[in-house]
Amino acid sequence: MISVQHYPNILPENIISKILELPEVQTAKNSINIKTSGSVSFSINLTSEIKNIILEKLGINLLNLDSIPMRWIKGDTLPHIDSGYSSFTNTYLVYLTNSSGEFIVDNNSYPISKGSAYVFNEGIYHETLGTGFEPRLLLGPMSETGFAVGGDPVVDVRVKYHFNLWKDLTRKMYNKRNYKLGNKKRDYSFDKSRTTILDFL
Ligand SMILES: [Fe+2]
């Protein structure tokens, strides 16, 4: 069963400002700033204020945890399914900055806005589109027990543009080749591997 939940504005402005001013957030921001795209994972200490909001708004109990995973991301994430060091039921994330573009979960589009949380169950494909070059900060992505999940391949918009061009070109070449071959004997072993790659893309 597919479940995607969007909770707008679960964190108030003053708490977000405090998080953004933390030295570990600033240090990680310096690391993402010098990248053209990618992500920087780190963690911050969990205050009882944040724990209570997460419990109240998202329904997960992190009261025994000392820290929470965080991530700066620059560029678009390609479609992917989250994974973690252990099995889990849901992915939880809260955007702490606004961003251009959109967050797409199971083919539905959502805004990337400060304080908004998303919860979706494990195994659902998700991606971002049109996020440009400004880094965005996330609390999470994490499991219901608070460990980091993800494994998102992040690319900048230029790479994504060329990736799509290359994908289209490969498809055209593949179709043209099959058209030329017509009814002649075909190399099925080659076709099989090429089909697998195209299916993956
Ligand atoms: Fe993800």
Q: What would the pLDDT profile of 46-81 be if each residue is shown by its tens digit? A: 999 999 999 999 999 999 999 999 999 999 998 889
Compute the distance from residue 150 Cα to the ligand 1 centre, in Å.
4
Compute the distance from residue 175 Cα to the ligand 1 centre, in Å.
33
User: At how many degrees (to 10) do helices 23-33 and 13-21 cross?
Assistant: 70
Kindly report the length of the chain: 201
Q: Tell me what the mean pLDDT of segment 161-181 comes to.
A: 63
Compute the distance from residue 131 Cα to the ligand 1 centre, in Å.
15
Residue 24: helix, strand or coil by DSSP? helix
Amino acid at 142: M
The pLDDT, as a whole number, for residue 132 is 92
Query: What tens digit of pLDDT does each residue of 108-149 get?
Result: 999 999 999 999 999 999 999 999 999 999 999 999 999 999
Compute the distance from residue 31 Cα to the ligand 1 centre, in Å.
20
Secondary structure (H, E, C), 112-173: CCCCCEEEEECCCCEEEECCCCCCEEEEEEECCCCCECECCCEECHHHHHHHHHHHHHHHHH
Compute the distance from residue 178 Cα to the ligand 1 centre, in Å.
36
Compute the distance from residue 101 Cα to the ligand 1 centre, in Å.
16
Instruction: Please tell me the distance from the alpha carbon of residue 94 to that of residue 66, in angstroms, as a whole number.
Output: 18
Instruction: List C-alpha distances in Å: 166 to 131, 159, 173, 198.
Output: 21, 10, 10, 11
Question: What Rg do the C-alpha atoms of the chain give, in angstroms?
Answer: 20
Instruction: Please tell me the distance from the alpha carbon of residue 138 to that of residue 94, in angstroms, as a whole number.
Output: 6
Q: Does pTM top 0.85 for this prediction?
A: no
Compute the distance from residue 151 Cα to the ligand 1 centre, in Å.
6
Compute the distance from residue 125 Cα to the ligand 1 centre, in Å.
8
Worst-scoring range by mean pLDDT, 6-20, 32-46, 98-112, 154-168?
Answer: 154-168
